[in-house]
Chain A
Amino acid sequence: MPEDIETQMVEHMRPLFGEFAATALEQQKAKLGLAGAVAAADYLRLAEEIRAMCREVAGPAVAERVYSGLLAILQEAA
């Protein structure tokens, strides 16, 4: 259920991105051309894009922390 996954991803991103979290997720989805039903492999790509964005915003240590949380959400949903 993508909405649930994405809601969880947004909530996980919120501590770093604040109220921009949902917009950030949507922006990265658009960048990857993801629309409609999103496959598991694409969610992985999405998590990697978000990690890259986190690196720019807060550096590698924080990016890895956010990324590992996103991976945990995806694994839980699989």
Chain B
Amino acid sequence: MIQEAAQLPAARVRSYVTNLDEQMEGGIPRGSIVLVCGRPGSMKSSLTYYMMHRQATVEGQRCVYVTLEQSRASLVRHLSHIGIDAEASGRVAIVDLAQLRKAFGDNGPKGDTNWLKAIVDQVASYKQLLGCEIVALDSMSALYSLHEFTNPRRELFHFFEGMRALGVTVFLISEMYDPEKDIFARYEVEDFLADGVLHLKVDRSDGQSNLYLGIVKLRETRHSRSYFPLIVEGEGFEVVAH
């Protein structure tokens, strides 16, 4: 049920991760671009979808989750395993661009698609079509596999500015590959361009695999710098605050 309290959009997008919003002045500033980073298996997609799902079901926000690699059906099945019924609210549209890639090829009809621009244009279209306030793109690695970069720093600057100009809150899911270093995205410039960085860290030691969440960066916000244990229970996420 959508609560009637949400007549006007709040200035911050609450994560609805128990104990987390208190660590960042109540949530993410609306209109921010936030990197959600982590190594494979760190629940980046699940956490991002969960935040959007809660925004939709509790606050009535319209959201679009764009997947470039994982199919819509596979994502819906995965979410149901962690207790999230992706079809329930009808306010989070999962758009499967992987399906379009499969059907029509990666190069577009003219064979020279500028994928960074195409994604910004698509998000603008979704805003018009669906009236969305929150968008997620899963993943940056998939986008990079499509786009031919000539000057990554310059092109990514325009990509981020294009996204920012849309006036929606954006989550960009970013795979981290270097096991030794905290490099949040491939070109090492994305975390400077983004307004926020949420880092999901998997600690695999002593035969255990524990998940931690850190707010590395969040503009216009006084936030904790700690890494908090992240627990997934039922259909909810919770951090254990110190």
Which A-chain residue is minimally distant from B129 (CB atoms)?
Answer: A15
Interface pair B129/A24, CB less than 8 Å apart? no
Beyond A56-B72, A57-B72, A65-B129, is A18–B96 a contact (Cβ under 8 Å)?
A: no
Tell me the complex Cα distance, A18–B118, Å: 8
Write out the residue numbers on chain B whose beta carbons fall within 8 Å of the beta carbon of A58: 72, 93-96
A68 at interface (Cβ–Cβ under 8 A)?
no
Write out the residue numbers on chain A whose beta carbons fall within 8 Å of the beta carbon of B90: 61
Q: B96: which of A19, A20, A57, A65 is its contact (CB, 8 Å)?
A: A57
Tell me the complex Cα distance, A45–B180, Å: 55
Beyond A16-B125, A19-B113, is A57–B95 a contact (Cβ under 8 Å)?
A: yes
Query: How large, as a class, is the contact surface on chain A?
Result: 10 to 19
Question: Mask for A24-65, Cβ within 8 A of B = 1, else 0?
Answer: 100100000000000000000000000000001111111001
Interface pair A59/B113, CB less than 8 Å apart? no
Give A69 Cβ to nearest chain B Cβ, in Å. 10
Interface pair B130/A27, CB less than 8 Å apart? no
Tell me the complex Cα distance, A27–B128, Å: 25
Give A54 Cβ to nearest chain B Cβ, in Å. 10
Write out the residue numbers on chain A whose beta carbons fall within 8 Å of the beta carbon of B227: none
Interface pair A18/B122, CB less than 8 Å apart? yes
Which B-chain residue is minimally distant from A66 (CB atoms)?
Answer: B129
Which A-chain residue is minimally distant from B113 (CB atoms)?
Answer: A19
B234 at interface (Cβ–Cβ under 8 A)?
no
Interface of A is mostly: helix
Interface pair A20/B72, CB less than 8 Å apart? no
Interface pair A23/B93, CB less than 8 Å apart? no
Interface pair A59/B94, CB less than 8 Å apart? yes
Beyond A27-B103, A59-B87, A61-B90, is A15–B128 a contact (Cβ under 8 Å)?
A: yes
Write out the residue numbers on chain B whose beta carbons fall within 8 Å of the beta carbon of A16: 95, 125-126, 129
Which B-chain residue is minimally distant from A17 (CB atoms)?
Answer: B100
A22 at interface (Cβ–Cβ under 8 A)?
yes
Write out the residue numbers on chain A whose beta carbons fall within 8 Å of the beta carbon of B73: 56
B99 at interface (Cβ–Cβ under 8 A)?
yes
A20-B108, A62-B129 given; 20 more Cβ-contact pairs under 8 Å: A14-B125, A15-B129, A16-B95, A16-B125, A16-B126, A18-B122, A19-B110, A20-B100, A22-B109, A24-B100, A24-B104, A27-B104, A56-B72, A56-B96, A57-B97, A59-B87, A59-B93, A61-B90, A61-B93, A65-B129
Q: List 29 A–B pairs whose Cβ atoms lie within 8 Å, in order of A's numbering.
A: A15-B126, A15-B129, A17-B100, A18-B100, A19-B108, A19-B109, A19-B110, A19-B113, A20-B103, A20-B104, A20-B108, A20-B109, A24-B104, A27-B104, A56-B72, A56-B73, A57-B95, A57-B96, A57-B99, A57-B100, A58-B95, A58-B96, A59-B94, A61-B90, A61-B93, A62-B93, A62-B95, A62-B130, A65-B129
